Structure 1
Amino acid sequence: MTGPIRVLVVDDQHLVRSGFRLILSVEDDLEVVGEAEDGAAALVQARALRPDVVLMDVQMPGIDGIEATRSLVAEDLGPVIMLTTFDRDDYLFEALGAGATGFLLKNADPDALVDAVRAAASGHALLAPEVTLRVIERMTGSVRVDPPGRPAPPGWERLTEREREVLLLVAEGLSNGEIAEHLVLGEATVKTHVSNCLAKLHLRDRVRAVVWVHQHGLLPAGEERTGQDPPTD
């Protein structure tokens, strides 16, 4: 990417938009190119500006953040980082279904916001650690975990043993740096393994990888499965 990362900020509160603009504008590689106060305005702005990243509030009048995200993703108008809060988990999972690339809590540190924007612009998903735990808790509480003897899920056989280890650690909510420390690998090597997993499983991003693992019962709640193959016979 040449030039700064172009960001569209969407929130119905002017003070919130101003705060995000202030945080992002001090970074040489980031530029806020537009603001919108609701989903309808966000679609208009995104179509005109073609931002590299969209910061999207969830609850707004008119077209809310979930519906706007669904439209933005369908039109390929840029990755969306959804701003969420603990008290409305339903928003988090609706946003996941709508295709959001990243999730941040509104009380996140400024550095986390900057890192999320850079990650999204580079084609990577980013989950706040607290949000990752929410995803895991919901998935392990709602998906069916097959009994011993279940077949391996489609695509699992294409992964190497190391890729499987990395994938399961991703699903536990570990960052690339934490995975590298846990497996005694370089962080660049971990990134390569994560990318290979996504490509082989045809998953768009890290968020979908977390969901995929839990949907297939590869990391049951309360059971350590890291580095182990699922039963295949």
Structure 2
Amino acid sequence: MVILDYGSGNLRSAERALRRVGADVLVTPDHQLALDCDGLVVPGVGAFAAVMAGLRGVRGDRIIGKRVAGNRPVLGICVGMQVLFERGIEHGVQTEGCAEWPGTVDRLEAEVVPHMGWNTVRAPEGSVLFDGIDPERRFYFVHSYAARSWELDARPPFPEPKVTWADHGGDFVAAVENGPLSATQFHPEKSGDAGAELLRNWLKALA
């Protein structure tokens, strides 16, 4: 298991959380190790543009694309999820993302932004990430931007994506399961036992 080190994200928090659920974890920017590992985690905090710049600096966008094309699991977290979309718009500036999914990440429309704290999510039937997790469990969010719509249907050879939603001033995408590519807008590594259960579910799916 590799956590991609590209200069952004809660690397050590993610490492500790994954070790807690039994993963053998390496934090590295190494291109080949990131391509070859059983599972790749792409965390991210801060601005969309800065995260994309860091990713491109270690060829992370290409690594993600190659892994998805080869049906190799990837988990994006927070801004590491946002950059999987086509574009992000922050302060009127548009930045191209990894374009694994269509759509735009933009500012939440809520009275209080950022969305910071614990919130429930609405997972779809058959979700692997949320298997066995009580729908009333809460996950920890810290973000001002999100994808507020979902545009992708099934794309062969992957089945129809499973999209989880949350609400803060309106619905936004809280998690996605799309073949080998999974992601959460919330921070599982900061979400206590609920986050540990989700990470454990993801690890089980790698076997």
Larger Rg: 1
TM-score by length of 2: 0.37
